[in-house]
Structure 1
Amino acid sequence: LQLTGGSTYVVSLPKPWIVATGLRAGDTVFLDSMADGSLTVLPRPAEKAPPRKKVFEVKGAETRDHLLRKLIGAYISGFGIIEIRSKPEEAPFVRRVTREFCRMAIGPEIIEETRTATVIQDLSDPAELSPEKCLRRMYMTVRAMLEDAVVALKTRDEALAKDVAQRDEEVDRLYWLVAKQHHLAHVAPPGSADTVARIGLHNYRLVAKLIERVGDHAQRIAEASLLVRERTLDAKLLKELEGASSASIAIFDQAFSALASQDIDLANEAVDARAPLQKMIDGLSNHVAAKKGEELLALAMIVDSVGRAGSYATDIAEIAINSAVAGDETTQ
C-alpha cells in the first residue's frame, strides 16, 4: 500500500491476474465494496445474476392447496421465475391457481401463458420494501385488527368482523416477503451480506412470524364474534374482555417499540406484563365457563386468542432483549 500525493493510496495488482484477465495499461478496473468491509476488484462491471428458475409439473391429482403451497415455497426460496407445466386440459386449473397466487403474494406476475405452461416472474424490488418497513406495516395492520375485532364483538358489527378476517391476507403477504428476503440473504455469495446483517434478518423473520400469528388470533376473534353477534353478552364480561384485550395490545405495543429502539427496559416491561394479563385470562375463562352451547365455544375461543396474542407479543419482547444485548457489547 503506497501513499501518493498526500491523499491517494495505490495498490499494485499481481501480473498473473492482469495477464489472465486480458487487461492492459490504461484499462479501467472496477471496485465493488462488500458488506463485510472488503473490496472486490473486477476486470469488467459485475453482471447481475440471472433469476433462479423453478419448474413444476402439474399432474392430474394436483389440488389447489398443493399447488399453492409449492408456489409459495418457491417464492419464499427466492426463485425469480416459476414455470408451471401441465397438459392442455389442465391449463384452466393452472391459470386459476397461478392468478390466485399472484394476488396473494407481493411481486409475482404472470409473464407468459400457453396451453401447456404458465410462467411467473417475481418483479418485486427488495430495496423498495425493506424488512424493517414490512415489519412496521405488519405491526400496524395487526394492531388495528386486534382493536377492530373486539369492537366488532362489542357492537355486533358483522361487516367489521369480516373486514378484520380479510386483512389477515395482507399480513400473510408481508410475512412471505420477509421470509423471502431472509432466505436470499442466506444463499447470497460470501461477502455480500455480513454476519450482523444476516442475524438481523433472522430476527426479523422470527418477529414477522410472531406478528403473523398475532394476526391469526385477531382473525380468530373476529370470526368467533360472528357466532355471538345476536346474543346478549353481560356488561361485566364485555368489560373484562375489553380490559384483557387492551392489556394484550399494550404488550404488543411495548414489545414492538422495544425492538425498534433496542430498549431492554421497555422489553422487560412487556415481558413482566404477561403475568397480570394471564390473571385476567384466567378470570375470563371462569366467567365464560358459565355459558352454554355455541356461545360458550365462541367466547372460549375469543378469550384464548386474546391470551395467545399477548403471549406472542411477549416472545417479540424477548427477541428484542436478545437483539439489544447482542448489539451492545457494554451491556451489563
Structure 2
Amino acid sequence: MAAVTRRIQLTGGSTYIISIPGKWVKENGLDRGSEVSVEEVNGNLVVSARGQKTRERNRRINITKAMDRDLLQRVLTAAYIAGFDTLVVRSNQYISQEMREDIKRFAKVVMGVEIFEEGANSIVLQNVLDSSTFPLNKAINRMALNVDVMIQDTIKGIEDSDTSLLGNVIQRDDEVDRYQWYVYREVRSRSCEDSRVPFFLIISRILERIADHAVNICRTWQSPADVSSVRDEVINGLRSSHSLLKEALEAFYSTDLQRLNAIVSKKGSVVAEKVRIIERAGNGDALIQAISVSEDIARIGLYSTDIAELAMDMIMSSRDEISL
C-alpha cells in the first residue's frame, strides 16, 4: 500500500491517536475491536496485524504474443525481486517447450522457487523458502564465500593452466546472481526492519561485480593469445587484490575505523599492480589481453576498498557521536 499521511490527534488529554487506513484493515481481515501490534523499529512505528495470517502475494504474467526469451527472463526476475508467494505464467496459446524450459531454468536459478503446477497454457511457481530462516546477513556471507572461492580457483586455474577449472568459475557466476536477487527481494520487503539493509544491498552489488571481473579474467585467459609473459604478474596482482578483498570482508562488520581506513588507503597500490602488468606485456595481442586482465584485477581491488568505505558509512549511520 502506498504511503498515506495522518494527523496526530489528542484524546482524553494525554493519549495521542492516528486513524488506520480502512483498505489496510479490510485487506488484513481486521475489524472494530481487533488487536494490532505497534513496534518501534529504527525510530519508526510499525503497525502490523497481530495474530492474523499474512496475506499471500499472488502475481500473474500474461503472455499474449510471441515474447523474446531475454524479456521473459527479465520479467520473471523482476517478479521474483518484487516478491510473490505464487506466480502464474499464463499464455493464450500452448506454452512451447522452449519457453517451458526457460521458466523451469529460472526456477532452478533463483532461491526458494519451485514449479507447483503445470498445464498446457500455464505454469504455476511457488515460493517455498521461509526467509526468516535465511536472514540478509547470512545471504551476504554466503555470497561473499562464493566470490572468495571463485577468485581462489581463478588463481589456481591460471597457475595450473587448467582451462576446465576456469570454465567452472565462469559457470559459478549464476550462483552469485542467485544470492544477489535474493538480497534485492529481501531488502525490498525488510527496508524498515534493520538500518543496515541499504548497506547490504550495496555490498551485494559490489560482490556481484567482483564475481563478474573474475569471470572476465577466466574468459580472457582461455583466449588463444599468448599471455605467458605476464603470467607471474597477473597471478601476483590477483593474489594482492584477493587478499585485499578478504581483509575488507573480514573487517566489514567491525567497528575499527582505523583498520577500515587502512584498507581504503590501498587504492594506490592496486593501481600500481595494474601498471606493472601492462609494462611487462610487450606489444601485440599480449598487450591487449594484459590491459583487459589488469583492469579486471584492479577493479577487484578497488571494489574491495569500496567495501571498507561502505563499512565506515554503516558505522556512522548508527551513531550520533564517535571518538577517533
SS in structure 1 of the partner of residue 139 of structure 2: helix
Q: 2:284 matched to 1:292?
A: yes
Matched, 1:263 2:256: yes
Residue 309 of structure 1 deviates from its aligned partner by: 0.8
Is 1:283 paired with 2:279? no
Point out the structure with the larger helix share.
1
Residue identity matched to 1:201 = V
Counterpart contact for 1:214–1:309, Cα < 8 Å: yes
Contact 1:108–1:124 (8 Å) recurs in 2: yes
Q: 1:210 to 1:40 in 2, by over 3 A?
A: closer
Q: Could you say what the CA RMSD is over the residues aligned between the two structures, in angstroms?
A: 2.6
Q: For residue 253 of structure 2, what is the amino acid of its counterpart?
A: A
| Whole-Å separation in 2 of the counterparts to 1:203 and 1:322 | 8
> Secondary structure in 1 aligned to 2:214?
helix
C-alpha separation between the residues in 1 aligned to 2:146 and 2:89?
33
Deviations along 1:240-272, one digit per CA (max 9) or x if unpaired, are 222211221122122212212232222111111
Please report how far the alpha carbon of residue 22 of structure 1 lies from its aligned counterpart in structure 2 after TM superposition.
Answer: 7.2
The aligned residue for residue 328 of structure 1 is: 319
Q: 1:11-66 CA distances to partner (integer Å, 9 max, x unpaired)?
A: x9x9xxxxx9676xxxxx86746353969697xx5222222222112243312111
Is residue 204 of structure 1 aligned with residue 200 of structure 2? yes
TM-score, length of structure 2 as denominator length: 0.83
Tell me by how many angstroms 1:122 deviates. Answer: 1.2
| SS state at 1:278 partner | helix
> Residues 40, 136 of structure 1: CA spacing in aligned structure 2 closer, same or farther, 3 A cutoff?
closer
The answer (yes or no) to whether the contact 2:40–2:46 under 8 Å persists in 1 is no
| Identical columns (%) | 23
Answering whether residue 220 of structure 2 is matched by residue 224 of structure 1, we say yes
AA at the equivalent of 2:302: S
Contact 1:264 1:321 in 2 (8 A): yes
Query: For the Cα contact (< 8 Å) 1:262–1:324, is it kept in 2?
Result: yes
Taking a change above 3 Å as real, the CA distance of residues 92 and 287 of structure 1, as seen in their structure-2 partners, is same
Could you tell me how far 1:100 is from its partner in structure 2?
A: 0.7
Question: How far 1:76 sits from its partner (Å)?
Answer: 0.6
Displacement after TM superposition at 1:97 (Å)? 1.4
1:316 aligns with 2:321: no
Q: Describe how 1:137-176 pairs up with structure 2 within 5 A.
A: 137-176=142-181
Moved more, 142-151 or 169-178: 142-151
Flag structure 1 segments of 5+ consecutive residues without an equivalent.
1-11, 15-19, 24-28, 187-192
- Report the CA distance between 1:283 and its aligned residue: 2.0
Contact 2:206 2:303 in 1 (8 A): yes
Q: Match of 2:252, SS?
A: helix
Work out the CA distance in 1 between the residues paired with 2:74 and 2:87: 13
- Aligned counterpart, 1:249: 242
Q: Give the Cα separation in 1 of the matches to 2:275 and 2:48.
A: 63
- Flag the 1:269–1:74 CA change in 2: closer, same or farther, 3 A: same
- The whole-number CA distance in structure 2 between the counterparts of 1:41 and 1:206 is 28
Structure 1 distance, partners of 2:248, 2:153, is 20
* Cα distance in 2 between the residues matched to 1:41 and 1:232: 60
Query: Residues 31 and 81 from structure 1, CA distance in 2 versus in 1: closer, same or farther, beyond 3 angstroms?
Result: closer
Distance 1:60 1:40, change over 3 A: closer
**One-letter amino acid matched to 2:151:** L
Separation in 1 of the partners of 2:319 and 2:52?
Answer: 37
Q: Shift of residue 239 of structure 1? A: 2.6
2:228 corresponds to 1:233: yes
Q: Show structure 2 runs of 5+ residues with no match.
A: 1-14, 18-29
For 1:181, the aligned partner's letter is: E
Spell out the pairing of 1:1-332 with structure 2 (5 A cutoff): 32=37, 34-36=39-41, 46-186=51-191, 193-194=192-193, 197=194, 199-228=195-224, 231=226, 233-234=228-229, 237-288=230-281, 290-293=282-285, 295-332=286-323
In structure 2, distance between residues paired with 1:174 and 1:305: 22
Decide whether aligned partners of structure 1 residues 245 and 95 sit closer, same or farther in structure 2, where only a CA change above 3 A counts. Answer: same
CA distance in 1, matches of 2:133, 2:99: 30
- Looking at structure 1, the residues matched to 233 and 99 of structure 2 have their Cα atoms a distance apart, in angstroms, of 49
Structure 2: distance between partners of 1:284 and 1:21: 69
Q: Secondary structure at the match of 1:34?
A: strand
Give TM-score, length-normalised by structure 1.
0.81
- Mapped partners of 1:21, 1:179: distance in 2: 34
1:52-91 CA-partner distances (Å, limit 9, x unpaired): 2221122433121110100000101112221111133334
Distance in 2, Cα, partners of 1:148 & 1:242: 11
Aligned equivalents of 1:257 and 1:232: distance in 2? Answer: 33
